[in-house]
Chain A
Amino acid sequence: MTDTSTPDTLPAANTNPGRSVLCIEDEHFIAELYTRALTKAGYDVTTIIDGVEGLTAAQSNKYDIILLDLMVPNLNGIEILRALRDPARVPPVRSKIIVTTNLEQREDVRSDIEKQADGYLVKAEITPGELVEFLDTIK
């Protein structure tokens, strides 16, 4: 499900009672586990495996939460994060962006990411169930 609405217009308010999640993740099985757990918990999940497509979808501003894997093909997560959080963007992206990765970052790189994102998760350290709990705490 790839959305193609233009990024410059604010979409209509999301009437879906469950919150919407955009999962930008190229590891198919991980995405499957996350989708399963999130859907069970009432979230509306969209999965995209490509970086460029993921950025386009994210820019549509339709999602409450974006799960952003740092290593996706064609455009890496850090670039996507930078684009989404570009202060020159009008209107700004309202979604909460949670960065996910299994890479170990240098402290300075990690804190730079954490400044722009709303969360930083190491995938191996969090089970799907724990992920759901975490997202539930994000307002």
Chain B
Amino acid sequence: MDHFQKFRQQIRWLTFGLIITENAILLSGWWIGSLHRKHVTIVMVIGATLLAFALTWTIMTVLGNTITKPLQALWQAILHISPSEQGMAAPKLEGLGMGKELVESLVRQIYQIGDSANKAAAEAKAQNSDISQNFVAQNLPLPLFIMDATDTITFANAAAEAYIGIKASDMLGKNVYMVLDMSFPSVDTLDNWLKQVKVKSATAASSWERVRLNVRDNHPSRLFDLAAYYNRDNPHHLESMLALFDHTEAYSQDDQAVSFIALSVHELRTPLTLLRGYIEVFEDEIDTSNNPELHSFMEKMRSQAEQLMAFVNNILNVARVDDDQLQLRLEKNDWPTVLKKAINDLSLRAKVRDISLHCQIATNLPAVGVDPISIHEVINNLVDNAIKYSGTSKVIEIATKLNGEGLVETTVRDYGLGISSSIMPNLFTKFYRDHRNRAQIGGTGLGLYLSKAIVTAHGGTMWVQSKESEGSTFGFTLMPYDKLTAERKEAGEQGITRSAHGWIKNHSLYRR
């Protein structure tokens, strides 16, 4: 305030001085005029008036300039730093007389304020583009991942660090699928969705339930819901965003269902082992010729016990499939060998019904990647079904060849009862059995459900074509081993481990 007080005093004194001077001049003139009254002429009067006018004008100009020059300098300074006014030059402070210190100090303050404002704006701008400085992103209590156009992680917040157990700095620059090894309950995976939206959308959002995060080192896997957001060509490379909602405890209650079933399976198997053992003894001991009826009963007992055993095996697999716990080990195999062995094992069953199995195997088949035991189950199931639903037909055709897409395609064709179109949609669902045939034809209703899950886990597809009273053709594809391994080079394992919904082990590194 010192500068301002000083300036105000100066103005006061200036005003005082100017007016006193003017008054003095005027008074002097009047006094001179009164001494020489005789010689006062009109000219002198006019001259005196003009002088008074000139003096007043001088006061006005001097005062006006002196008072407003500081204001002008301030005006210039403010506009100079104003972001909206581009043309204003900096004020010239040298020309100032009175109030120079005041103006200098104020202009300095103005420039300082201007500087701070600029700095704050620049910081805010920088913060906006540096997501890691974003308070919301960093402190969001949900694991948050941000990726750029190449699916590389550019940001992971604190919650993500804690969830995955890897430091954010170690996650940056890595492909998101390397860091997040996820499995989805269906073929609708994050990877598939991203691929689609990148092609056809500017922005998109989606969510998934019950996604499994496979964690290394024997940690139990985590189960969560996933939400994703995509925006194309984001200038800060924040192209995709993932948020995870953990539900491990709630979803893993289902694991208990599997454990209960596993326990039940064991408890069921023990008496079953004994029953089958005793039945075998009796079958051997009862002479067909002496006791044909008893022998026939024993045969039926054996068959029923086998069926029970198959069902017990199946229910555990079904539970695992449902919970994404069915693990298969795919190994390199000669498909004709595997197929022929399976068919061989079924030939007796076919013979009993007087049905012949015709097998046509192409010669140019590449080695396939299969889990021999489970794929045996699949062939078993399809041929068994064909036998069961053959009606009066006596022929079943099994063929395998390399199809147009380079996949090994296998078909099982029967000429029996066929499947009505009303049943077709439900064919591969659990426990679904044609109610019309249920009484005559035995079965658990799990076979096709499991078969499809197993084929899917092999990276193949299964389908059916059928016409009532004309028969059905069931088919499935398998991948050549080379195709499987080509995308699994970094695995370093002997075989390829897949889960039942294996082809949805979400990863562009895994084959679909």
**Chain A residues engaging chain B, CB cutoff 8 angstroms:** 27, 29-30, 33, 36, 102-104, 106-108, 111, 122-125, 127-129
When each residue 247-274 of chain B gets 1 if its CB lies under 8 Å from chain A and 0 otherwise, what string results? 0000000000000001001101110111
A-B contact pairs, 13 of them (CB 8 A): A30-B273, A30-B274, A33-B274, A102-B265, A102-B266, A103-B262, A106-B327, A123-B269, A123-B270, A124-B269, A124-B276, A129-B280, A129-B284
Q: Nearest Cβ distance between residue A45 and chain B, in whole angstroms?
A: 15
- Given known A33-B278, A108-B327, contact A102–B273 (CB-CB < 8 A): yes
Q: Is the CB of A33 within 8 A of B277?
A: yes
Task: Classify the interface of chain B: helix, strand, loop or mixed.
Answer: helix
A30, A104, A107, A129 — most chain B CB neighbours (10 Å): A104
Is B121 an interface position by the 8 A CB rule?
no
Q: A102 to B280, alpha carbons, bound, how many Å?
A: 19
Q: Nearest Cβ distance between residue B327 and chain A, in whole angstroms?
A: 4
- Given known A122-B269, A124-B312, contact A29–B274 (CB-CB < 8 A): yes
Is B417 an interface position by the 8 A CB rule?
no
Q: Which residue of A lies closest to B276 (CB)?
A: A127
Q: Is the CB of B309 within 8 A of A124?
A: yes
Q: Is the CB of B281 within 8 A of A33?
A: yes
Which residues of A are found within 8 Å of B312, using beta-carbon distances? 124
Which residues of B are found within 8 Å of A29, using beta-carbon distances? 274
Q: Nearest Cβ distance between residue A1 and chain B, in whole angstroms?
A: 23
Q: Which residue of B lies closest to A128 (CB)?
A: B277
Which residues of B are found within 8 Å of A33, using beta-carbon distances? 274, 277-278, 281
Q: Is the CB of A104 within 8 A of B316?
A: yes
Q: A109 to B312, alpha carbons, bound, how many Å?
A: 20
Q: Is the CB of A124 within 8 A of B273?
A: yes
Is B132 an interface position by the 8 A CB rule?
no
Which residues of A are found within 8 Å of B276, using beta-carbon distances? 124, 127
Q: Is the CB of B269 within 8 A of A102?
A: yes
Q: Nearest Cβ distance between residue B479 and chain A, in whole angstroms?
A: 20
Q: Is the CB of B280 within 8 A of A127?
A: yes
Q: How many residues of B contact A (CB 8 A)?
A: 24
Q: Is the CB of A104 within 8 A of B262?
A: yes
Task: Classify the interface of chain A: helix, strand, loop or mixed.
Answer: helix
Is B238 an interface position by the 8 A CB rule?
no
Q: Which chain B residues in 316-352 approach chain A with CB under 8 Å?
A: 316, 327-329
Q: Is the CB of A104 within 8 A of B265?
A: yes
Q: Nearest Cβ distance between residue A65 and chain B, in whole angstroms?
A: 19
Q: A127 to B277, alpha carbons, bound, how many Å?
A: 5
Is B313 an interface position by the 8 A CB rule?
yes
Q: A106 to B276, alpha carbons, bound, how many Å?
A: 25
Taking A107-B329, A127-B276, A127-B277 as known contacts, 15 extra A-B pairs with beta carbons closer than 8 A to each other, sorted by chain A number, are A30-B274, A30-B277, A33-B274, A33-B277, A33-B281, A102-B269, A102-B270, A107-B328, A123-B270, A124-B269, A124-B309, A125-B313, A127-B279, A128-B280, A129-B284
Q: Which residue of A lies closest to B284 (CB)?
A: A129
Which residues of A are found within 8 Å of B269, using beta-carbon distances? 102, 122-124
When each residue 155-173 of chain B gets 1 if its CB lies under 8 Å from chain A and 0 otherwise, what string results? 0000000000000000000
Q: Nearest Cβ distance between residue B250 and chain A, in whole angstroms?
A: 23
Which residues of B are found within 8 Å of A106, using beta-carbon distances? 327
Q: A122 to B268, alpha carbons, bound, how many Å?
A: 13
Closest 8 CB pairs of A and B: A102-B269, A124-B269, A107-B327, A33-B277, A127-B280, A123-B273, A124-B272, A124-B273
Which residues of B are found within 8 Å of A122, using beta-carbon distances? 269
Q: Which residue of A lies closest to B325 (CB)?
A: A106
Q: Which residue of A lies closest to B268 (CB)?
A: A124
Q: A103 to B265, alpha carbons, bound, how many Å?
A: 7
Q: A125 to B270, alpha carbons, bound, how many Å?
A: 11
Q: Is the CB of A103 within 8 A of B266?
A: yes
Q: Which residue of A lies closest to B312 (CB)?
A: A124
Q: A107 to B497, alpha carbons, bound, how many Å?
A: 10
Which residues of A are found within 8 Å of B277, using beta-carbon distances? 30, 33, 127-128
Which residues of B are found within 8 Å of A128, using beta-carbon distances? 277, 280-281
Q: Is the CB of B266 within 8 A of A104?
A: yes
Which residues of B are found within 8 Å of A111, using beta-carbon distances? 329
Q: Nearest Cβ distance between residue B275 and chain A, in whole angstroms?
A: 9
Q: A40 to B458, alpha carbons, bound, how many Å?
A: 43
Q: Nearest Cβ distance between residue B318 and chain A, in whole angstroms?
A: 12
Q: A122 to B316, alpha carbons, bound, how many Å?
A: 14
When each residue 277-295 of chain B gets 1 if its CB lies under 8 Å from chain A and 0 otherwise, what string results? 1111100100000000000
Which residues of A are found within 8 Å of B328, using beta-carbon distances? 107
